Structure 1
Amino acid sequence: MTERPNLNAIPVSDANHVPLTPLSFLSRTADVHPDHPAIIYGELRHSYRDMQTRCFRLASALARRGIGSGDCVAVMAPNVPALLECHFGVPHVGAVLNAINTRLDPATIEYILTHSGARVLLVDRELGQPLKDVLSRLSDRLTVFEINDPATADFPALGVPSYEDLLAEGSDAPLPDAVEDEWQTIALNYTSGTTGRPKGVLYHHRGAYLNALGNQQTWCLPRHPVYLWTLPMFHCNGWCFPWTITANAGTHVCLRKVEPEAIFEAINGCGVTHFCGAPVVLNMLANAPDTVRRPLAQKVQAFTAGAAPAPSVIGNVEKLGIEITHVYGLTEVYGPCVVCEPQTDWPSLGADELAGRKARQGVRYATQQGMEVVDPHTREPVPADGQTMGEIVLRGNAVMKGYLEDEEATAKAFEGGWFSTGDLAVRHADGYVQIRDRLKDIIISGGENVSTIEVESVLYQHDDVLDVAVVAEPSEKWGETVCAFVEAKPGRMPSEEELIAFCRDRLAGYKRPRRVVFGALPKTSTGKIQKFVLRQKAKDLASQPA
């Protein structure tokens, strides 16, 4: 009898196995579309030939200064071309890009620079001014270069070499490929750290490559999209879109400040077809004054994530001519990896029902291996009944390597072979998940679970409400009751009684707010509402005499 052949016997070789890395996207696009616009920023225009040359110069300049595999290069800048170039130039020498949140306080920035072991910092001139003391303390091990955006010409110089000076040290010639293993770290992103020190999330080249393609496939991106940078590039590396848009030979329209007027002008002036943003950005556009709002010259596609958007917000934005795709993810999973993927019967739905479907988080990306909604205690999947809440867990190649120098937190996050998100959700009969709350935000009133997101979605339907956050207020009788913090639209003055009455016909009794507090809502540096601050306020209010 003939021996059966071993079909796995042939080893890999350089001809048939190379590490996956998103750096290959720039190489291909510059080869195939060298003259296509890569970057638009004010009067500046760079082709893909220009962009690749500048990235080569950055890489070789860093290498000549001794930066190589595993070294951290930090960048602190708004969405300007230099930060986009760093997404290719820095990892081209095997170094790790740490794009720092521009809204953080100096003490947190100093912690990040120290914890990451950053050797180089590229900092925007405006943003560098408040950091002079920090940079002085770190001067013995941190080399600083200043990014001189024309918009910052009126700010004092830091007295260090410029980013353009650094590029002048480099060469146009590409360096040998420094990515020897796709498990190499490509980027380091720090969580927002609202309840303690931020954690450093490590991305590998394989995950960045796959999630970039996941964005491409999920959004059905055409060749040559025109993408507006409303999403901060420091946030999960811009959800991997520096690499996604480059893979599709798209045009990156950089935007220094996210303001409604600038967004409307860029959409019409540059022919923008796509952008990403948190619901707060969508709300900003939907509520822009008539003096700012402009009819859109073309249909625009938008990815939204970062918080669960209310159906009313989605509906209002789509009336402007912006079609919403709702995605979900976290820093630990390279940004979005779950999508509310449209079904063929959705166009036949009414506007309200369609907005409700689009408010769901959805199903996993094709590039994400698995997603479940499990009981937080037993870790068993919950029934797909649209009612039973459980925690979303994820696994796959687009999950972080782990937390930098924090084995305990990494082990806890990966317990049971899944990444635990901390988000509570239900799974509908069609398999789509919908977030109900964070584990730490759920309200238990009289033994009943209350989804803060459900209450918030109802309050968002009121014409006078601009923004809302719902938290638990301690109660001797019920354990907890619902407390709503509301930011009214400019010129509107709803009353507490009015909003509670509005909820009466739309929510069960135990879900209705017992208290409504008006005022601006506290937000994190990434625009998320700081519910821990509001929970303390609610606790203080509950302790006051009636």
Structure 2
Amino acid sequence: MGVLFDECADRGSGTRVRLDRPFDIAPAGGVDYGVGELAALVAEVSGWLAAAGARPGDRVAIVKPNHWDYDLIACAAIRLGAVPAQLSAHLPPESLAELLRRLSPAVLVTTAEHARLGAAFAARVITLDTPEPGALHVDRLRGHRPPPPRRPSEHEPLVINHTSGTTGVPKLVVHSTSTIIRKLAGLESVRLPAVGVRRDDTLANASSYAHGRTFCWTASVFCLAPARIVILSGPEPDAADVLLRRFPPTFVEALPATFVRFRPLLSRLDNPFRDVRFYLSTYDAMHPPVIRDYLHASRRRRPLWMQGWGQTETGPITFRFFTRKSLATRRGRHPSTRDLGRAIPIRTRLKVVDPATFEPVPRGQAGLVLARTPARCLGYVGENQRWQEKHDGGWWNTGDIAVHRRDGRVLLLDREVDTSPGLSCLELEDVLEDRLPGVLECVVLAMPGKDPLPVVVTETGRVDPAEWSGAVHDLPALQPPRVLTWDEIPRTGTGKVRRLALLTMLTGCADTPGTGRWT
């Protein structure tokens, strides 16, 4: 990864990268880059890190506003032999402090907002925006000659990313070149017919760039050399619209929450998604109306949507394709979006066990999902015991409750911590969103000894009582809905709902039906 862009430039890649705003590490560098210019920028940043004291084997933490230069800084750290740790600036201060304590980085790359917090845990702090007492401002490091690139060992730590943290302090996940590059990015680098990246594609990515997904994406997509890559750093539709209309994408990957936020763009006359042939979503559940609307927004004859299910620790486990036809049924009681498809052939195996006994359950019966994959991470920083409890004999405990059907398909029900006997909160969310036009999101919170609590997210903070009654008439008993606006919902850096935080905010109690042992 340290010389990824150098190698792409040597192969003559013509990929151009267009940004919605300049990089935080190069505010005067503009918004248009070729791979050679990216290689030069990575080398320059490697020189900064070396000048600040980073050495081979050291950890370099990164906490900054969301942008793809998270991955460029990570590449720069890897180039000199250090191990980057990418931490979202959206983390609550107490969670960020705990992760920095576990890491004890030699260098922290950040902004003035987090410099003082970081100084308590990092040996040296670099600020990218304004000078801060006790920190090195980036301007003092510019111009330092980068050290020669070092190639990391195949099975040693390469990068550290954290999990989303929907149920508390995130885990720090360690991957190696073997796990995240060879086993994950290598798989994505295959130019598959119909679903693979083409040389004439314009790729749009609107993600949380502190997470492992985009690090893996960076490693794979530049090897495929598409014509253009469009990077969107924020979820605001009006800001994204300008760049998307200028460079209409043919291949789109975004956070589920960002797909929701960009949805108003679909109804504009100059719909920027009109030429998309392929959509890709990971991280979180996608609900039927959102997928349906994007598929119908494309003017292509047969656009596809691929939903991947996996974890930071494992990479993708299953995948499922959706078409306009597969989502034609509306307002049904059992939408198809909880069907996550089959395990990735050859590389991934699944089994479902009883959560209490860990004995395998028959196909078609709900249980705890275990996965076996060569891409499983090396461990957790500072939480070895937690890591040991989640894997057994090569099987990884996903912490998800699902049904493994006889035909091999996986029907996801809930996280174990959120599971409620006799129902699926995720499926109820699918149903409610499909039956309530105009809602942004529905969240169903399981509570021990009580009916589930539905939370409806709208622009106005109101929902029509008659529409609500019509939507829930054939559903299991629910408490009266709580209606909130988007900004009132506590979220992670990937836009996921922090369910425990939301439950506590609404009820004053964080008790859940599940044990939470494997979250």
What range describes the TM-score normalised by the shorter chain of this pair?
0.7 to 0.9
Alignment of structure 1 residues 88-487 onto 2, 5 Å:
88-123=75-110, 128-138=111-121, 141-148=122-129, 156-158=130-132, 161-163=136-138, 166-171=141-146, 175-179=148-152, 181-209=153-181, 210-217=183-190, 219-223=195-199, 225-238=201-214, 240-250=216-226, 251-287=228-264, 294-321=271-298, 323-334=304-315, 336-341=316-321, 351-352=328-329, 356-357=335-336, 359-366=338-345, 368-385=347-364, 388-444=365-421, 449-461=422-434, 462-474=436-448, 479-487=449-457
1:14 aligned partner:
none
Query: Is the aligned partner of 1:493 residue 2:468?
Result: no
Match of 1:54 among 41, 44, 50: 41
The answer to whether the 8 A contact 1:34-1:48 is kept is yes
The secondary structure found in structure 2 opposite 1:352 is coil
- Residue 116 of structure 1: CA displacement? 0.6
- Name the CA shift for 1:333/1:23 in 2 (closer, same or farther; >3 Å): farther
Quick one: which amino acid aligns to residue 123 of structure 2?
L
Which has the larger displacement, 413-422 or 287-296? 287-296
Q: Distance in 1 between matches of 2:266 and 2:14?
A: 38
2:27 aligned partner:
none
Query: Is the aligned partner of 1:29 residue 2:8?
Result: yes
Q: Distance in 1 between matches of 2:127 and 2:165?
A: 27
The answer to whether the 8 A contact 1:286-1:320 is kept is no
The answer to whether the 8 A contact 1:91-1:97 is kept is yes
The secondary structure found in structure 1 opposite 2:370 is strand
- Residue 282 of structure 1: CA displacement? 1.8
List per-residue Cα deviations over 1:105-143 (Å, max 9, x = no partner).
3343233223212111222xxxx23324324545xx532
Quick one: which amino acid aligns to residue 463 of structure 2?
M
Which has the larger displacement, 288-297 or 514-523? 288-297
- Residue 468 of structure 1: CA displacement? 1.1
Quick one: which amino acid aligns to residue 443 of structure 2?
A
The secondary structure found in structure 1 opposite 2:481 is strand
Q: Distance in 2 between matches of 1:413 and 1:456?
A: 28
Q: Distance in 1 between matches of 2:131 and 2:168?
A: 33
- Residue 317 of structure 1: CA displacement? 2.2
Quick one: which amino acid aligns to residue 320 of structure 2?
C
Q: Distance in 2 between matches of 1:206 and 1:255?
A: 29
The answer to whether the 8 A contact 1:228-1:266 is kept is no
Match of 1:527 among 468, 476, 495: 495
- Name the CA shift for 1:114/1:438 in 2 (closer, same or farther; >3 Å): same
1:72 aligned partner:
59
Quick one: which amino acid aligns to residue 185 of structure 1?
P
Match of 2:473 among 490, 495, 504: 504
Q: Distance in 1 between matches of 2:187 and 2:344?
A: 6
- Name the CA shift for 1:110/1:442 in 2 (closer, same or farther; >3 Å): closer
- Residue 539 of structure 1: CA displacement? 5.4
The answer to whether the 8 A contact 2:414-2:425 is kept is yes
The secondary structure found in structure 1 opposite 2:206 is coil
Quick one: which amino acid aligns to residue 46 of structure 1?
Y
The secondary structure found in structure 2 opposite 1:246 is helix
Structure with higher Rg: it is 1
- Residue 450 of structure 1: CA displacement? 1.2
- Residue 161 of structure 1: CA displacement? 4.7
- Residue 380 of structure 1: CA displacement? 4.2
Q: Distance in 1 between matches of 2:69 and 2:143?
A: 14
Q: Distance in 1 between matches of 2:290 and 2:157?
A: 37
The secondary structure found in structure 1 opposite 2:500 is helix
Quick one: which amino acid aligns to residue 504 of structure 1?
H
The answer to whether the 8 A contact 2:335-2:430 is kept is no
The answer to whether the 8 A contact 2:166-2:499 is kept is no
- The runs of 5 or more residues in structure 2 that have no matched partner are 22-29, 510-519
Q: Distance in 2 between matches of 1:279 and 1:86?
A: 25
- Residue 365 of structure 1: CA displacement? 3.2
- Name the CA shift for 1:247/1:536 in 2 (closer, same or farther; >3 Å): same
Query: Is the aligned partner of 1:83 residue 2:60?
Result: no
The secondary structure found in structure 2 opposite 1:52 is helix
1:15 aligned partner:
none
Q: Distance in 1 between matches of 2:14 and 2:263?
A: 36
- Residue 197 of structure 1: CA displacement? 3.6
- The runs of 5 or more residues in structure 1 that have no matched partner are 1-21, 149-155, 542-546
- The number of residues matched between the two structures is 487
The answer to whether the 8 A contact 1:367-1:398 is kept is no
The secondary structure found in structure 1 opposite 2:56 is coil
RMSD: 3.3
- Name the CA shift for 1:235/1:293 in 2 (closer, same or farther; >3 Å): farther
The secondary structure found in structure 1 opposite 2:340 is coil
**Fraction of identical pairs, as percent:** 22
Quick one: which amino acid aligns to residue 318 of structure 2?
V
